[in-house]
A and B are shown apart, each in its own frame.
Chain A
């Protein structure tokens, strides 16, 4: 099983600041990584797939990078609607599909 580890668990930032979230895989997953955003009471929303491709309708302030075992999600200038929990997911091998534990972005 591929273990996904996200850091930090909580990120405190101010609106307009840059946020950098990390995700590490226990073995190489090439670029087969997705990022999701989840707000309270809502299902996750796909932000990034293929490690760096934005999903339909995702603002350009969200960007993904990395390959192999180290990945980053960057939010260039945080807006109020970006405060949420972010999860990474590997889709290189299954079963099982695996998610990271999440990073909460808070004010």
Chain B
């Protein structure tokens, strides 16, 4: 069974930093692109960042470019999101989400999601 478990969320002051983790199990982690998708309270879904299975390619939304860094450790089956210069607009539940296919040449769509971790940016 595929499992994705996020951690690392919490309350952080504006301008602060936080690192999220996503522990994966139940599939060959290194074969799949993984993304972070966030959802502000009461709002819709916003893709934040994605990374290829090897970690060699990374992608970012304009809203987080230069402030967030996605990475992965395939030996630990873990995905990370380093977030800095946080603002109130970054307040959201952050989900990690796995691409449905290991060989799809197209950008990803997601067949497995974690339960999410809440990041609150407030003074």
Contact = CB atoms under 8 A, between A and B. Distances in A.
Contacts, number: 67
B114 to A, nearest CB: 7
A60 B44 CA distance: 26
A31 to B, nearest CB: 10
B106 to A, nearest CB: 6
A91 B107 contact: yes
A97 B108 contact: yes
A15 B46 CA distance: 30
Interface string A36-80: 101000111110010000011000000000000000000000000
Contact of B107 (A42, A43, A92): A92
B19 interface: no
B3 to A, nearest CB: 12
A2 B3 CA distance: 30
Interface in B93-123: 95, 97, 100, 106-111, 113-116
Contacts of A93: 107
Chain A contact-residue range equals: 20 to 34
Nearest to B47: A97
Q: Is the interface of A mostly helix, strand, loop or mixed?
A: loop
A36 B35 CA distance: 16
Q: Which of B45, B59, B60 has most A Cβ within 10 Å?
A: B45
Contacts of B107: 32, 91-94, 97
Contact of A95 (B60, B100, B110): B60
A44 B116 CA distance: 10
A91 B105 CA distance: 11
B1 interface: no
Interface of A: 32, 34, 36, 38, 42-46, 49, 55-56, 87, 89, 91-102
29 contacts: A32-B107, A34-B110, A36-B45, A43-B97, A43-B116, A44-B45, A44-B113, A46-B100, A46-B109, A46-B110, A46-B111, A49-B109, A55-B100, A55-B111, A87-B45, A89-B45, A91-B109, A92-B107, A94-B47, A94-B107, A95-B47, A95-B61, A96-B59, A96-B61, A97-B107, A98-B47, A99-B44, A99-B45, A99-B47
